Structure 1
Amino acid sequence: MGSPHDAPTTDDAMAAMHPPEQPRLDAGNKHHDHYARRLPKWRNALRNRLIPIVRWETPWLALMQDKVRSPALDTYFAYTANLGTHTFFMVFLPIQFWCGYTSVGRATVFMLATGVYLTGFLKDMVCLPRPLSPPLARISMSGSAALEYGFPSSHSANAVSVAFYAVYTIRQTPEAYHPYVWVGLQGLFYFYALSIIFGRLYCGMHGFLDVGVGSVLGALITTFYLVFNDWMESWIFSGSYTDIFLATLVVCVMIRINPEPADDCPCFDDSVSFLGVVIGINLGAWHFAQTSLALNYPIPSTVPFDLEKMGLIKATVRIVLGVTVILFWRASAKSALLKGLPPLFRLLEQARLNLPRVYFLNASKYTSIPTLRDDDNLIPPASELPNRLMNLAHPRKRSVSIGPQSAADAYETLAYRNRRRRESLSSLDGVVPEGAMWEPSPRSQSKPQTPALEKAEPQLLGASLLPTPIQSRAHSYEQMMGTGHVDKNASTPPDSDTDAAGDTVLFSQMLTNEENETEKRELFMKLMKPRVRYDVEVVTKLIVYSGIAWIAVEGNPLLFELLGLGMP
C-alpha cells in the first residue's frame, strides 16, 4: 500500500505516532526542508513548482472572502458543503439500488470512487497545503477536512461529475419532462456544482488551483464513464469468474500503488473505503444478476420496484430496514475484524509478507486496539448520529477557525516565515534593523518611495508602488501570511485589516537554530494531535465497505423478498 521508496523510515513513523514524554518535534522538522527530506526528488520538484501558486492566490482569496462574507453566507456554505461530501452520497447510494435506480446508482458509485481516489492520490503525491490561515478564515463543519492536503478539491470533483452526469441524463430524454421542468432541472444541477465550487473558495478551504483542477477531473471522469460505460458493464456482467476476479484485482492494485504522504493525512482512508464499495457492488451485482429475482432492464441486477404497486408504507419499511442492516453490519464486522486481524497480521509480519504503510502502526507494536473515535468519514456509527444531527442544527458553533490546523498548515506557516526573513535580509543587505517591515518580494525595492505613498500607506514602507486600493488591500493580507497561531474560537468575520490571529509581522533579528526549534515546537504543540492508526484498519475498511456495498445491491434485496417486502 504505497511504494516503498516513497515512505519515510520506520523510526520517523514511530516517532510521529508515539511522541516521548518530553515534547519534541517530529524528526522531519529537524531538516531545513521537511518535504525535501520525505519526498522523492521528482515529487518534491513538482511540489516546489506548485507551491508559489498557492501562496500567490492566498491574499486574493482573503480579499474576496472579506468582501462577500456575512453570517448568512457562512451558514449557507457551511451547510451546503455537506452536499459535496462522501458521506452525503453514501447515505443516498443504497436507496437508489433499493428503489430500482440501479443504473444511476452504479454510475454514481463509479464517478465518486474514481474522483475520491484520483483526488486523494494527487493530494498524497504532491502534498500541497491549503491556502494559509490567516489571512483566511476557514469555515467547515467537518473536523477532518482541514487535516487533508488542499490540492485538488474532492468536493469540486464530486459535484461536477455528478452534476454533469445528471444534466447529460436529463438531456437524453427531453420528452419525459415539461419544457420548463427540463430547463429548470439542468439549471438546478449547474447551480449545485457552482455553489459547491464557490463555497470551497468562500470557506477558505481551497484555492483557485484546487477547485479548477478538481472540476476538470470531475468533468473528465464523467466523460470517461459515458464513453466506456457499456464496455465496463459488459465486462462485469459477463458471468465469468475470471472477469470479476480481474476487476477486483485491479481495485486492490489501485490501493497498493497509492503514494505515501509526507504528513499524517487521512486522504488514503477515504480512498480505501470507496474502493471497497466498488468491490462489493461489482461482486453483489455480478451474482444478483444471475438470480431469477433481478431484472435485466435497464441494466442487469436491477431490483424490481414500483411505488404505486408497493405503496409508500412498504417502501419506507424497506429503506428503514435496509439502513438498519447496514449499520448493524458496520458495527459488528468492524469490531470483529479489529479483534481478529492483529494476530494474523503479526504472523504475516514475521514472514515478511505484510505491506507496511507509514503512519500506520504495525501489529507487532501493539497488543490490542482501543475503541476508535472519529475514524470514519463516510458512515458514522449509529451512536454518533444524534450528535451529528445536533451539529447540523448549530453549524457556527465550531465552523470557523483561524490559524494552522494540520501539519501541512504548520510546515507552510514556518516555510513562509522563513521566506519573509530571507527576503528581508536580502533587501537590506544582510541587516535587519529594529522594527523593519517584512518585504514580500525583493524586486519591490527597485522602485523609489514617494512622500505621498508614505502618507497614504505607512504600513507599506519599503513596498512597491501599488497603483490601486485593491492591490493595497491584497498586500495587507499578504502581510498576515505565515503569522498564524491556532485559534479554534473565532466565529465572526474580521472587522479590520489587522492580523486576525493577533500576531504582527515584525521581527527584529534572524532567529537562532534553538529559537527556530522553539518556534516550531510551540506551533506544533497547539495542533490537534492525530490519533494512532493501526495497520489492520486498511483491510478492515476494505472488508466493511465491500460488505456494505454487497448488502446494498444483493443482501438487502434478497432479505426484502424473504420478509415479504418485495414486489407483489
Structure 2
Amino acid sequence: MANGKNSEPDAGLKSLDHYRNKLPPWRYWPRQKLLPLIRYETPYLAWFQGKIRTPALDSYFAFTANLGTHTFFMVFLPFLFWCGHASLGRGMVHLLASGVFFSGFIKDLLCLPRPLSPPLQRITMSGSAALEYGFPSTHSTNAVSVAVYALSLLNSSESTLSPQANIFLQSITYIYVISIVLGRLYCGMHGFFDVTIGSLLGALLAYLQHLFGPLIDEYVLAATGKGVTLVILVILALVRIHPEPVDDCPCFDDSVAFAGVMVGAQVAYWHLAKSTIEDAATFEFTGVGPVRTALRLVIGVLLLFTWRAIMKPFLLRVLPPIFRGLEKLGLILPRRFFTNASQYTTVPSQLKDHEVLPGFSEIPSIITTIRHPRRRAISVGPQSEADAYETLAYREKRRRESLSTGNGASPVRVTDVGGGHSASISEREHPKLSRKQSKLHEYENMMGTGASSMATSVDVGSQEATVPFPAFDPGIGDDEQDVFSQIKQPRVRYDVEVVTKLVVYSGIAWIVMEGAPLLFDQIGLAAK
C-alpha cells in the first residue's frame, strides 16, 4: 500500500504486530505506553458527544473547525502584510510554520491513532483531516498558539487600541480558541489527550515567539548572505529529519509546505531590509483608501493562485528527468510512500492533493461550503490505514483477553471502564439475562467493531437529525481485507513533489512579503 498500488495490508503482518514490526523500539515503546490512554478515554468521548449533540452544534463545530486549519491561515495571513501589519504577520507565520511542523513531527514519530469510530462519529467538512494520526491535535496547536500570541499583544503596554476594542478582540479570541479545541472533541476527531498536548504545544510556541521572535527578526535583518543561507539550511535539515510514518500520513506534506513558507519569508524579509525598495511594503489606509485597499487584496490573492497554477505543473514536468539523473548518481534520499522518478514516466497534471493553499478549481467548492455552513459529513467506521489497524488491533486485543480467561468458545467479556462491571456477548444477545448496561458500557462494546457496513459518510441537511449509532454485531467485519477495502486509499505520491512544494510555497511567501507590494507600488496602489 506504500505507493497506492496495492490495497491490501502488508503480507504476513497481523494488525496487533503492525507497528511493532515497523517502528524501532525507541519509537514503539512510548507509543504502546500512550495507546491505552487513548483507548480508555474513547467511551467517555462518545458519552460526551452523545450527551450534547444537536444538528445546530454539528454545523457550528464543523464550520468553525475550518478556522483552525493552516489552509485558512494561508488564505488570510497575506491580508496582514498587505494592510500594514507586517510584524504581526511575520509572528503568525513563525507560529503556524512551527506549529504545523512540530505537531506533524510528533504525529509521524509516534503514529498514535485517533479515538475509535465507532463509538465516536466523526463530523467534518474536510475529508483529509482523518487521514492523519491523532496525537497531538494540530488544530489545537494552531488555535492556541495564535490566541496566546494575540492575547499577549493585546495585553502589552504597546497596544494602542481603545479599552472597548481591546475587550472586544480579547472576547473574540477566547470564543475562537474554545470553539476550535472543544470542537475537536465534539466532532470526534480527537481525544482529551490529543487536544491537551496540542494546546500545551501551541502555548509553548507562542511563549517562545513572544520571547525570541524579535531576536530572530534582528538576526535576519543583520545577517549577510551566508547568514541567511545558514537559516535556509537549518530549515531544510529539519525537513530531512522529519520521521518516516508507518502508514501513509500526509503530515509530512504540510511540514514541507510550511518549511517552504519559512524559507521564502526569511529571504523576503532580509532582502527588503537590504534594498531600497522597503518603502513599497509600507501601508497607510488613509493614504490608500478603501477602493485601492480592496484592489490590493484582490490582485494579491490572484497573484498567489496564478503562481501556484503555473509553477506547480511546470516543476512537475521538468523535475523528473533531473531526479532520474541524480538517482543514477546515488544522490537521491528516498522517502517511504514517495515513488522514485525512475519508476514513472510522467506526473499527472491534476493531482488530487491535500494542499495547504487550494487551486483555482477548488474555489467554487470553498464558496459553496461558506454559503452552506450546515453541510457536513458524518462518518462512522475506519477512514484511514491507522484507523483500520487500530480497529483490528483492538478487536484482536479483546479476543486475546477472552482466550486468557477461558477457551475459544467462551463469550467475550468486556469491562465497563466507568464502574468495573462486565458483560459478555451472549448476555448482550439476551438482555433479559443481564442488568441494563450503562451508556459507557455500550460505547465501549462498540470499540473495534468498525467494518464496511459502518464506514459511511453522508451529507446532512439542515433539517436532519444526527446519524444514529450502529448496533453492535460481534461477527461483523471479521475479514481483515474487508476493513482495509473500505478505507480511503492514498494516491500515488512522487519524489519531485517535495521539491515542488518547497519552491511553490517559498514563492508564495516571497510574493506576499515583497513581490505583491512591489507590484502595488508600480500600478499606483501604494500609499503616496
TM-score higher than 0.5: yes
The corresponding residue for 1:9 is none
The corresponding residue for 1:161 is 145
Q: Once the 2 structures are TM-superposed, how far is the Cα of residue 310 of structure 1 from its aligned partner?
A: 1.0
Matches within 5 A, 1:154-553: 154-173=138-157, 176-294=160-278, 303-395=281-373, 397-427=375-405, 429-433=406-410, 436-440=411-415, 458=431, 461=434, 472-485=438-451, 486-489=455-458, 491=460, 500-505=469-474, 519-553=479-513
Q: Once the 2 structures are TM-superposed, how far is the Cα of residue 283 of structure 1 from its aligned partner?
A: 0.4
Match of 2:30 among 34, 46, 70: 46
Q: What is the SS of the residue equivalent to 1:479? A: helix
Q: Once the 2 structures are TM-superposed, how far is the Cα of residue 375 of structure 1 from its aligned partner?
A: 1.2
Deviates more, 1:229-238 or 1:103-112: 229-238
Deviation by residue 1:236-284 (Cα, 9 ceiling, x = unmatched): 1114111101110110000000000000000100110011000001101
Q: Once the 2 structures are TM-superposed, how far is the Cα of residue 127 of structure 1 from its aligned partner?
A: 0.4
Q: Once the 2 structures are TM-superposed, how far is the Cα of residue 179 of structure 1 from its aligned partner?
A: 2.8
Contact conserved, 1:322 with 1:552, CA < 8 A, in 2? yes
Q: CA RMSD in A?
A: 2.6
The corresponding residue for 1:18 is 5
Pair 179,230 (structure 1): closer, same or farther in 2 beyond 3 Å: closer
Contact conserved, 1:58 with 1:207, CA < 8 A, in 2? yes
Q: How many residues align?
A: 518
Deviation by residue 1:288-337 (Cα, 9 ceiling, x = unmatched): 12222325xxxxxx821111111111111111111111111101110110
Partners of 1:441 and 1:542 lie apart in 2 by 49
Pair 385,489 (structure 1): closer, same or farther in 2 beyond 3 Å: same
Deviation by residue 1:34-56 (Cα, 9 ceiling, x = unmatched): 10111111111111001101100
Deviation by residue 1:30-89 (Cα, 9 ceiling, x = unmatched): 575110111111111111001101100100000000000000000000110011000110
Pair 210,191 (structure 1): closer, same or farther in 2 beyond 3 Å: same
Deviates more, 1:249-258 or 1:226-235: 226-235
Partners of 1:380 and 1:542 lie apart in 2 by 16
Q: Which amino acid aligns with 2:130?
A: A
Q: Which amino acid aligns with 1:566?
A: A
Gap runs ≥5 in structure 1: 1-11, 296-301, 464-468, 508-514
Deviates more, 1:331-340 or 1:93-102: 93-102
* 1:142 maps onto 2:119 in alignment: no
Partners of 1:132 and 1:330 lie apart in 2 by 37
The corresponding residue for 2:526 is 566
Q: What is the SS of the residue equivalent to 1:439? A: strand
Q: Once the 2 structures are TM-superposed, how far is the Cα of residue 502 of structure 1 from its aligned partner?
A: 4.4
Deviation by residue 1:203-245 (Cα, 9 ceiling, x = unmatched): 0000001000000000000111111122211111114111101
Partners of 2:521 and 2:83 lie apart in 1 by 14
Partners of 1:101 and 1:27 lie apart in 2 by 55
Q: What is the SS of the residue equivalent to 1:489? A: strand
Q: What is the SS of the residue equivalent to 2:458? A: coil
Q: What is the SS of the residue equivalent to 1:80? A: helix
TM-score using structure 2 length: 0.92
Partners of 2:432 and 2:215 lie apart in 1 by 63
Pair 358,28 (structure 1): closer, same or farther in 2 beyond 3 Å: farther
Q: Which amino acid aligns with 1:189?
A: T
Contact conserved, 1:69 with 1:493, CA < 8 A, in 2? no
Gap runs ≥5 in structure 2: none
Q: What is the SS of the residue equivalent to 2:525? A: coil
Q: What is the SS of the residue equivalent to 2:281? A: coil
Partners of 2:243 and 2:199 lie apart in 1 by 22
Q: What is the SS of the residue equivalent to 1:348? A: helix
* 1:90 maps onto 2:77 in alignment: no
Partners of 2:291 and 2:167 lie apart in 1 by 32
Q: Which amino acid aligns with 2:499?
A: V
Deviates more, 1:481-490 or 1:519-528: 481-490
Contact conserved, 1:438 with 1:505, CA < 8 A, in 2? no
Pair 58,32 (structure 1): closer, same or farther in 2 beyond 3 Å: closer
Q: What is the SS of the residue equivalent to 2:456? A: coil
Partners of 2:472 and 2:422 lie apart in 1 by 29
Pair 272,109 (structure 1): closer, same or farther in 2 beyond 3 Å: same
Partners of 1:459 and 1:350 lie apart in 2 by 71
Q: Which amino acid aligns with 1:222?
A: A
Contact conserved, 1:28 with 1:37, CA < 8 A, in 2? no
Q: Which amino acid aligns with 2:288?
A: M
Partners of 2:40 and 2:65 lie apart in 1 by 25
